[in-house]
Amino acid sequence: MIPQRSSPDLLAKSWQSFVERIGSKPEKWLRNLRDHKTHFPEYSLDGAKVRIHLQSIRESIRCCLRQEHKCPMCYGDSPRASGATRKGENGRISSELYFMMRRFQHRWKEHVTECKAAADLAKLGEDCAELYLAQVDQVWIEE
């Protein structure tokens, strides 16, 4: 988790890491940055969130992301668009924003499903390790 305020030491450490990454090949680093900048809005959830936020502002309405989605552009306590607005029920949003929201909701559900599956897999790994260690302990006790 990122601290609320970065200390000078943390900033210096980050800068040093940045300088090391660029290294002796700044052209390669810049090309990589441009590639990421091109793909970020399209292929990442945070990029989709930023696009939805900006489109909401262009349409002069509150951010259409739900509080649980944690818009990277909004403050935590910023008011959000109502459910009726997000669903397009009151005619305040464009079809473009409506379909952006629909695509995002689909991707969000996939993301939540993947996170749950990863957590279940990690839990299963822990349970298997505990079971194995319990069996080893039992063999050791019997000997």
- pLDDT digits 0-9 by tens, 20-65: 888 878 888 888 888 888 877 778 899 999 999 999 999 999 999 9
Residue 10 belongs to some domain of the structure: no
Determine, yes or no, domain membership for 87: yes
What pLDDT digit, counting tens, does each position of 64-123 carry? Answer: 999 999 999 998 888 999 888 888 888 888 999 999 999 999 999 999 999 899 888 888
Does 98 fall in a domain? yes
The confidence score (pLDDT) of residue 137 equals 56
Question: At a CB cut-off of 8 Å and minimum separation 6, what does 52 contact?
Answer: 63, 64, 65, 71, 97, 100, 101, 104
User: Residues 114-135: what's their mean pLDDT?
Assistant: 77
Q: Is residue 126 in some structural domain?
A: yes
Count structural domains, the chain. 1
Q: Tell me: pLDDT of 15 over 60.
A: yes
- Residue 3, domain member (yes or no): no
Domain that holds residue 53: 44-142
Q: How confident is the model at residue 17 (pLDDT cuts 50, 70, 90)?
A: confident
In a domain? residue 72 = yes
Indicate whether 70 belongs to any domain: yes
124 inside domain: yes
Cβ-based neighbours of 98, under 8 Å, separated by 6 or more: 88
